[in-house]
Chain A
Amino acid sequence: KIIYTHAPVHKEGRHWCKKGHCRVKTEYNIYIKRLTVTTMTSNSNLSTMRRLVEQLKLEASVERIKVSQAATELQQYCLQNAGKDALLVGVPTGSNPFREPRSCAVV
């Protein structure tokens, strides 16, 4: 797995940043590839691992509901609010703030 990140690298030049947004002239934000496999050689990696385990314990303990209940409630919300959803049901011309009314004013 390859992760693209921006990291301060002391290099001059023009480069495209990761998202192709723009060419940057500074020494920061250079598009580089980093391999995620790193050899564990220090104690800081031990504490990172301990933190990861604690985080996983937290995420494992979350209370879950059944997909059927989740799906039903999503559907219900959609159907209950459909009438107010202008992009879904449309807006009558007269009440559309983004449209000029058809009738002309007598000047």
Chain B
Amino acid sequence: MTTIAMGEMEQLRKEADNLKDQITAARKAMQDTTLQEAAASINVVGRVQLKTRKTLRGHLAKIYAMHWSTDSKLCVSASQDGKLIVWDSITTNKVNAIPLKSSWVMTCAYAPSGNLVACGGLDNMCSIYNLKGKDGNVKVMRELAAHTGYLSCCRFLSDSEIITSSGDCTCVLWDIETGTQKTIFAGHQGDCMSLAVSPDFKFFISGACDFTAKLWDIREGTCRQTFGGHESDINAIGFFPNGNAVITGSDDASCKLYDLRADQELITYQDSSIMCGVTSLAPSLSGRLLLAGYDDFNVNIWDTLKAERVGVLAGHDNRVSCIGVSSDGMACCTGSWDSFLKIWN
């Protein structure tokens, strides 16, 4: 490296440090109170006791992912047995059992329209399946291949666009019709593990193994904000239902709530008795409850405003790998390495 280049490098490093200090100071300047203080006058919610209403049996190996359809009735699950199963959660019937080319699946998603499902994993691809094909057979519609690392998560924006997150540290917006990458969202310094789309479909958030969560503007292709604080990989991420806050779950055994407009962490959900990582999370319809799945086979239910544990879902015989609350808020579904899905309310 030339002396001139080294000089510029030093200058840039100083500038970067200054900017980081600026951001820290600007965030601190907004801290006229804490969420804990602001919520001091409201009571903790009463003990939440949910019961298993349905058990969805059929997978023959670990379940890695599940996603509700927007109709709050159907849901899709992905298992290491190499199958995607679309379930009617009310009757427990299997609507579709789709065999996959690669059994190393890590994620699945249901399109808002209900017409498509997607999955992907260690094959580094996102495969799109058409559930409403003319002859009734479910076939692969597209294979989105370009990631150089595993597919950790995918979420549809519509029948023509999907966003994926990958172990190659990037997220990508794809055009499903042409099978091409529309936008690459680069910036994370570690594997991207999870993503969630904002309720207005304008933004998405990603959680990664660099311990940060990033907010991305889908159309501009830029990272708007970066949130730190976790001491280990972020495995799960979700939007607070009003779209103004983000909740993350990490290997550091805690979940955190970050407000987007205050640009900072507002509260941490942790307990000294919990020492294992968070694998999955989902807020309830009102945002008052946070259901988080942990490596110790349990789901803890948190009062999001008071940061107190108000319930536990114990019912699986192995790690809870995925959790989702239906759009109408009626039920929560948990998927586990024990090969079962359970519907609770």
Residues of A that sit less than 8 Å from B by CB: 3-8, 17-19, 21-22, 24, 26, 28-29, 36, 40-43, 45-46, 49-50, 52-53, 55-60, 62, 64-75, 77-82, 84-88, 91, 96-99
Contact = CB atoms under 8 A, between A and B. Distances in A.
A87 B50 contact: yes
A55 B224 CA distance: 8
B222 interface: yes
A98 B330 contact: yes
A3 B9 CA distance: 24
B191 A18 contact: yes
A6 B288 CA distance: 36
B332 interface: yes
A53 B191 contact: no
A84 B286 CA distance: 7
Given A3-B190, A84-B286, A87-B329, A98 B89 contact: yes
B266 interface: yes
Given A21-B64, A81-B241, A98-B90, A67 B31 contact: yes
Contacts of B209: 3-5, 18
B250 to A, nearest CB: 13
Contacts, number: 221
B26 A67 contact: no
B39 interface: yes
B53 A99 contact: yes
Contact of A86 (B27, B245, B330): B330
Contact of A64 (B16, B33, B262): B262
Interface stretch (B17-25, B93-101, B268-276): B17-25
Given A67-B262, A87-B289, A3 B23 contact: no
Contact of B30 (A52, A64, A86): A64
B106 to A, nearest CB: 6
B204 interface: no
Given A70-B244, A71-B266, A73-B244, 5 more contacts: A3-B190, A6-B167, A59-B226, A87-B48, A87-B325
Given A21-B106, A87-B332, A57 B1 contact: no
A65 B169 CA distance: 30
Given A40-B9, A64-B262, A58 B222 contact: yes
Contacts of A62: 224-225, 263
B54 interface: yes
A66 B35 CA distance: 11
A103 B72 CA distance: 25
A23 B209 CA distance: 20
Contacts of A81: 241, 285-288
Contact of B45 (A74, A80, A88): A88
B55 to A, nearest CB: 11
A53 B1 contact: no
B129 interface: no
Contact of B19 (A19, A36, A57, A65): A57
A18 B90 CA distance: 35
A87 B9 CA distance: 54
Contacts of A67: 30-35, 38, 259, 262, 264, 266
Contacts of A73: 242, 244
Contact of A49 (B13, B89, B124): B13
A90 B169 CA distance: 41
A22 to B, nearest CB: 6
A70 B259 contact: yes
Contact of B1 (A40, A78, A88): A40
B304 interface: yes
B43 to A, nearest CB: 12
B134 interface: no
B70 to A, nearest CB: 15
A24 B226 CA distance: 33
6 contacts: A21-B106, A60-B19, A71-B39, A77-B241, A81-B241, A98-B54
B50 A29 contact: no
A72 B27 CA distance: 17
A49 B64 CA distance: 37
Contact of B48 (A21, A74, A88): A88
